Amino acid sequence: MDTIDRQLARLFDDLPPQLRKAAQHLTRHPDDGALMSMRQLAAAAGVSPASLLRLVRMLGYERYEDFRDVLRAQWKARPVGPFAARAQSIMARAGSDAAMLVAATQAAAHVTVDAALAPPQAAILVTAAESLAAARRIAVVGLRSSFPPAFALSYSLALFREGVLPLAGVGGLGVDALDHCDERDVLVAIGVAPLTRETVLVARQASRQGLTVIAITDSALSPLGRAAGHVVLVGDGGVSLLQSQVGTMAVVETLVSLVMARLGPEALAAVAGREQHLQSAGAYWSDADDLSQPSATS
């Protein structure tokens, strides 16, 4: 079953202006749809109740109340707000009971990962992995809080296949690095609200050049989601200071496993060769290093 976010993204370009306003408000302020009456939501979106009900029925719901119930379930893991509000929430939890903060973080992580890898998402992940396995080149971009999963994806893929272009490194070229890319290539763009401008610009440029764009993001209707051919949605439990990357890392690890399985013996041989090279180059600490290096206490 599609999320309402995905349904709105598919319908958006064909909607009349009033329904577009309602759709944009719903994706930008999902809590409004979960908490407000139809009249309240229509007023907040700047449309008539009749227009809002028309949009709800286009999404397959006869009654607004049924639509609101689904929104409440789908958006329960949304962020609590800007960084300052999130920090305030953390301090309040920790001040009352530090153990409660740990438990809340654990619960949010479980919810986020479960949602990221749920059956509707699994089919999208498989399709995305097929594109990655078949691509000539894979460019990966993710900045600020999305840098860690972007680096993990590009580093992991580069262990068993050629043509991986990380665009998020120090001194990264961003859009310039796409100069020699075309429809044979894939861009994976990772980012959640508030989106980093450079990530959106790279995704849009990649789309214009004919690349297959895979977005790992929190809204199919965001600028990043709308630039992509495949959208993998990730939520956020709203407990940590920055947007949680737990769900995103779960998606990244799943994609790597799916691509490796798709490439089969070729990937296995590449990993073995890469591992042997790293060992020979002395990349990892060994027992011999313990014997040759003075201890910290000597």
| Inside any domain, residue 153 | yes
| Inside any domain, residue 201 | yes
* Comparison of pLDDT for 185 and 71, the residue scoring more: 185
Domain identity same for 134 and 51? no
Domain identity same for 256 and 143? yes
142-183: per-residue pLDDT in tens?
999 899 999 999 999 999 999 999 986 555 566 788 888 999
| Inside any domain, residue 198 | yes
Domain identity same for 122 and 67? no
Mean pLDDT of the chain: 84
Domain identity same for 40 and 134? no
**What pLDDT, on a 0 to 100 scale, did the predictor assign at position 60?**
92
Neighbouring C-beta atoms of residue 239, cutoff 10 Å:
24
Predicted confidence (pLDDT) at residue 112 exceeds the cutoff of 60: yes
**What pLDDT, on a 0 to 100 scale, did the predictor assign at position 97?**
62
| Inside any domain, residue 185 | yes
| Inside any domain, residue 106 | no
* Torsional sign, CA 252, 253, 254, 258: positive
Number of domains in the chain: 2
Neighbouring C-beta atoms of residue 49, cutoff 10 Å:
15
pLDDT range class, residue 108, cuts 50, 70, 90: confident
**What pLDDT, on a 0 to 100 scale, did the predictor assign at position 1?**
43
Predicted confidence (pLDDT) at residue 104 exceeds the cutoff of 50: yes
**What pLDDT, on a 0 to 100 scale, did the predictor assign at position 194?**
85
Domain identity same for 57 and 180? no
Question: Once rounded to an integer, what is the mean pLDDT over residues 202-217?
Answer: 96
Domain identity same for 12 and 133? no
Predicted confidence (pLDDT) at residue 16 exceeds the cutoff of 60: yes
Question: Once rounded to an integer, what is the mean pLDDT over residues 112-140?
Answer: 93
Instruction: Work out the widest C-alpha separation in the chain, in whole angstroms.
Output: 79
Helices (H) and strands (E) in the chain, counts: 15, 5
Domain identity same for 170 and 61? no
**What pLDDT, on a 0 to 100 scale, did the predictor assign at position 249?**
96
Task: Among 15, 44, 74, identify where a domain stops.
Answer: 74
Q: Which domain holds residue 21?
A: 4-74
- Please answer whether residues 178 and 206 qualify as being in contact, where contact means their C-beta atoms are separated by less than 8 angstroms: yes
Token pair for 298? 């000597």
Give the separation between CA 244 and CA 255, rounded to whole angstroms.
Answer: 18
Q: For the domain that residue 132 is a member of, what is the CATH number?
A: 3.40.50.10490
Domain identity same for 149 and 245? yes
Token pair for 25? 């408000």
* Comparison of pLDDT for 192 and 290, the residue scoring more: 192
- Please answer whether residues 165 and 140 qualify as being in contact, where contact means their C-beta atoms are separated by less than 8 angstroms: yes
| Inside any domain, residue 105 | no
Domain identity same for 162 and 65? no
Domain identity same for 271 and 126? yes
Q: For the domain that residue 58 is a member of, what is the CATH number?
A: 1.10.10.10
| Inside any domain, residue 42 | yes
Domain identity same for 52 and 129? no
Work out the percent of the chain whose per-residue pLDDT is above 90.
47
Domain identity same for 62 and 143? no
| Inside any domain, residue 285 | no
Give the separation between CA 269 and CA 159, rounded to whole angstroms.
Answer: 10
Counted residue by residue, the chain has a size of: 298
